[in-house]
Structure 1
Amino acid sequence: MSFSSTQQYLASVNGSSSPGTSYSGAPFGGASNSSRTAPSINLDEEIKLTTNNRERAQMDNMADLYSIVVVLEHLEMAYIRSAITHTEYTPACRQLIAQFRTASSLLGDVVPDLEKFMKEYSLDCPAAAKRIKIGVPATVEFGDNGAPDEVNGHRTAKYVAETVEKYITVMDALKLEMTAVDELHPLLADLIQSLNNVRSLPADFEGRAKVREWLIKLNNMRASEKLGADDKRQMEFDMESNYTSFRGWLDSQ
């Protein structure tokens, strides 16, 4: 077939009577690209992320959760850099942790895991993630170093007595079948704070690390959840063992 004959054939396929018409359509009578009309887009039109009040409330709660994590990250870094005092840091941190728990409880299964939420929304806040995981301010976890032990030992004796009391409180709570997270977590937070107040207690005291482990475990559960029989038994064993170790350290002083 000659070149002119090819042009005539293509023109006839496209419905053109002019042999000089160039081919721009799809082969064998397919729809022409030029005949397709692109949808018009109004750049000033608001894009709706939700379709009802329930979805809107969910988006608002997720936005609150996002902002709490960011603010907590800034607070942690400010405390690390001594930009704020421990007396300013502690109540602010407690409030943010409580707000996070409230916001996350409202979202339920929508945000089951903090790490996944942070990854999905590109949140790089490792200090906030650690603080939320433990569930208590750094001043509670490690002590606030607010005041040294007095030379006469009165302050040390006070903190030792408080620590003994906190240990007994936790053990009694378990014996009374108080196994809900929102019942045990505050008691453990008080216990670790009392342990940190005893400045002369060795840094590697095993009881402190074990209390921290239980704090993390409880903090990863919902407030309404309860320890199972095995976990309750293990916690009782750990607290009694740690209390015995603490009394042994006291006797050696």
Structure 2
Amino acid sequence: MKKAGSLFLILVFTFFSVFCSSADTTHAAANGDMQVQKLKQRGFKSPKFHKDAKKTQFKAQKQHKNVEYDVLATMNEDTKDVVLEVESTEKSQPEVYQVDIHEADGDLLVATFTDKATGKKYEVDNTKAKSNFAFVIPIGIVIGEALVAHLLAASLAIVVAGVTYVAATEIASKLRKEKRYEHYAATLNKAKTGMYIGPSLTYKQAKSKLKKGDVWSISKSLARKVAQGAGGNRIPIGPEIHNKDKNGKVKSGKYYYHYHTYNRAGGHSFY
């Protein structure tokens, strides 16, 4: 069973890497500029963002206790693998870490950093207090984790339970045009200002997913079908959009029309 589950994840990510690589790099570049400014505010020197068809990178320098560190975070666009490299005058060889991301959303990062030279693993969760953090985690990771978090943000991606989702603004129109699949897993970012699209789903999987989370479909009729099916074939609520506050003022962010099941149980059936 474990082997079958692993094979399923491989198939999901193989497909996902294909459609992520076609995302519009113009928006990512603009978002990269914004992440550059955030890194500067966090004390990084000369942060630089680069994105092409093969990789996405953030490079910067930071000083810690009078030691200068050169930090490079790279994401492979095909596999979505992330590698962190840290160089300093204190060590003759750079520290190189494979980064397995479990959760990432804006500044939030929960990940496992594996030292490629020794195989030693370090668990990082920047939502928790960091008392004596530097004594447990190598300083290269302490410095580099911020670069990894902003790398994901600049890529217009978030990670939830180990699954990568891309901003709908980047990929929705292409998926509608391709019509390769009709339904996808979806999620909102933690600020609830954007919707992100994940791996494809069958209609049966989409109905099941909607009972406990969000889905996105390539058309209005298909989104309605999912909400109706998940609600035991009862007429769904919608379409509706929550882009205004209680005073009628338009909220910041990008919002999408969606349906709910007849009793609003579960998540949003976006389109």
Q: Please, what TM-score do these two structures have when normalized by structure 1?
A: 0.22
Structure richer in helix, relative to its length: 1
- Larger C-alpha radius of gyration, 1 or 2? 1
Structure richer in strand, relative to its length: 2
